[in-house]
């Protein structure tokens, strides 16, 4: 047992508990958690760093404010102590199993970084002897779908990881399935994973109402893949029972009206034709966006990430913080986008008429320029 590591984790827990105290006190009062600095809620005097050390300062000050001498609520040190104990207990129970590993999504050839993905999955799997993977293509937020070669490499890699002794659950999130606009894989990765290893369970999640442009209905399907050739009925029964129990426990009851409507729609003879027509509309908008960036426009302010499918695409900003731009676009122009981190903005080009797309990106560019002027 590494005593020094336990002490270090306990200290991290104290710091986290101190931050929780800030949230508990400020958030309900709509006070920023950044400014002002720590202050006594009774006399409003600023608290210096030496009086703000978790638990220790409370003991040295004998539970009273240095300025007004009024009692400091016992809740503060208790929250810090409980947080510290929780961190230590989690470490003793699970070890350092909560790993934060990262990899670049795209490689230098503007393709999916399959090597980085598989390396990260393997590292997590070696540590925990199991790994849970979500494969979301067409991807949200980037709008990228794997090429056929990338799909083969990725699926073969996951099978190899499973065969090395690591249990793998691979969930294919196919909520935007069908919206493919380039020469990419036009089938689910589920078919390339199911039945290939006893240690690999493939699970397919379909968002049929998203695929059918009825986003609010929230109807989907879950399909479990076989793990070996032969009779999987006992496995499927257990999985179905567990999944049904979890769904009942978390969402209470299923949306029966929307399910019934969805079933009727799928039976409608014109359904495929209507969906193909709408797919063509989205594809036209996607190609319009591509044509704008093919001209090299706006490259001094932002560049696109690779995209070839779905409803969305992302741009990488060069000079402006993403959240600052998001707020400016909303306040000044009534344009809604999503900031996914400090540099990236997700744009739902699918919701913009094709004749307005060029203006949309022009306005985003102008807004970037105004923020850096």
**Structure confidence by residue, pLDDT tens digits, 249-261:** 776 666 778 888 8
Q: Of 59, 94, 129, which closes a domain?
A: 94
- Pair (131, 252) in one structural domain: yes
- Pair (280, 258) in one structural domain: no
Is pTM beyond 0.85? Reply is no
The per-residue pLDDT for range 257-282, each reduced to its tens digit, is 888 888 898 899 999 999 999 999 99
The per-residue pLDDT for range 189-204, each reduced to its tens digit, is 999 999 999 999 999 9
- Pair (242, 130) in one structural domain: yes
- Pair (143, 238) in one structural domain: yes
- Pair (60, 168) in one structural domain: no
The domain that contains 280 carries what CATH number?
3.90.1150.10
Question: What is the rounded average pLDDT of the residues 6-23?
Answer: 88
- Domain span holding position 154: 114-264
From the number of C-beta atoms within 10 Å of its C-beta (0-12, 13-18, 19+), residue 340 rates as middle
Whether residue 133 is contained in a domain is answered as yes
Q: Of 241, 264, 287, which closes a domain?
A: 264
Q: Which of 33, 38, 44 is nearest to 57 (CA)?
A: 38
- Pair (123, 236) in one structural domain: yes
Whether residue 169 is contained in a domain is answered as yes
pLDDT > 60? residue 98? no
- Pair (127, 259) in one structural domain: yes
pLDDT > 60? residue 34? yes
**Whole-number Å distance between alpha carbons of 18 and 13:** 9
**Whole-number Å distance between alpha carbons of 309 and 107:** 18
189 or 30, which is more confident: 189
The domain that contains 186 carries what CATH number?
3.40.640.10
- Pair (189, 82) in one structural domain: no
The per-residue pLDDT for range 48-86, each reduced to its tens digit, is 888 888 889 889 988 888 888 888 888 888 889 999 998
- Pair (89, 118) in one structural domain: no
pLDDT at site 103: 87
Helices 3-26 and 75-94: crossing angle, nearest 10°?
A: 140
pLDDT at site 213: 84
Whether residue 103 is contained in a domain is answered as no
Whether residue 100 is contained in a domain is answered as no
Alpha helices in the chain (DSSP H): 3-26, 56-60, 75-94, 114-128, 148-163, 208-211, 233-251, 256-267, 271-294, 322-328, 357-372
The per-residue pLDDT for range 334-364, each reduced to its tens digit, is 999 999 999 999 999 999 999 999 999 999 9
Show the tokens assigned to 42: 């009774």
What does the DSSP 8-state code read for residue 209? H
Whether residue 107 is contained in a domain is answered as no
Whether residue 316 is contained in a domain is answered as yes
- Pair (240, 149) in one structural domain: yes
Whether residue 325 is contained in a domain is answered as yes
The per-residue pLDDT for range 140-185, each reduced to its tens digit, is 999 999 999 999 999 999 999 999 999 999 999 998 888 999 989 9
| Largest interatomic CA distance in the chain | 78
- Pair (286, 243) in one structural domain: no
Q: Of 264, 281, 297, which closes a domain?
A: 264
pLDDT at site 204: 95
- CB atoms closer than 10 angstroms to residue 202: 28
Whether residue 108 is contained in a domain is answered as no
**Cα of 162 vs its chain's centroid, Å:** 24
- Pair (120, 249) in one structural domain: yes
| Structural domains of the chain, count | 3
pLDDT > 80? residue 26? no
What does the DSSP 8-state code read for residue 186? -
């Amino acid at each position: 047992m590494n005593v020094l590591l336990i002490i270090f984790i306990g200290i991290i827990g104290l710091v986290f508990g101190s931050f929780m105290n800030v949230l508990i006190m400020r958030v309900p009062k709509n006070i920023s958690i950044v400014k002002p600095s720590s202050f006594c809620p009774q006399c409003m005097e600023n608290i210096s760093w030496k009086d703000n050390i978790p638990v220790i300062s409370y003991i040295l000050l004998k539970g009273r404010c240095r300025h007004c001498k009024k009692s400091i609520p016992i809740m503060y040190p208790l929250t810090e102590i409980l947080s510290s104990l929780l961190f230590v207990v989690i470490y003793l129970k699970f070890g350092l199993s909560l790993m934060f590993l990262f990899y670049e999504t795209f490689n230098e050839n503007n393709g999916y970084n399959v090597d980085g993905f598989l390396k990260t999955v393997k590292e997590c799997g070696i540590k925990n002897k199991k790994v849970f993977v979500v494969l979301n293509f067409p991807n949200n937020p980037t709008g990228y779908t794997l090429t056929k070669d990338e799909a083969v490499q990725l699926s073969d890699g996951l099978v190899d990881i499973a065969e090395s002794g690591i249990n793998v659950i691979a969930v294919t999130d196919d909520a935007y399935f069908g919206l493919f606009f380039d020469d990419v894989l036009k089938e689910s990765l589920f078919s390339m994973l199911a039945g290939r290893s006893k240690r690999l369970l493939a699970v397919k999640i379909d968002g049929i109402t998203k695929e059918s442009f009825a986003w609010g209905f929230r109807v989907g399907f879950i399909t479990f893949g076989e793990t070996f050739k032969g009779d999987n009925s006992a496995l499927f029964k257990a999985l179905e029972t567990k999944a049904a129990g979890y769904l009942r426990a978390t969402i209470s009851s299923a949306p029966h009206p929307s399910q019934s409507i969805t079933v009727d729609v799928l039976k409608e003879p014109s359904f495929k034709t209507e969906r193909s027509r709408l797919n063509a509309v989205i594809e036209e908008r996607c190609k319009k966006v591509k044509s704008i960036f093919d001209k090299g426009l706006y490259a001094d302010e932002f560049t696109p990430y690779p995209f070839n499918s779905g409803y969305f695409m992302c741009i990488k900003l060069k000079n402006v913080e993403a959240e600052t731009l998001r707020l400016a676009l909303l306040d000044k122009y009534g344009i809604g986008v999503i900031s996914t981190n400090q540099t990236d903005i997700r744009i739902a080009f699918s919701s913009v008429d094709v004749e307005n797309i060029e203006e949309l990106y022009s306005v985003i560019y102008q807004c970037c320029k105004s923020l850096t002027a």
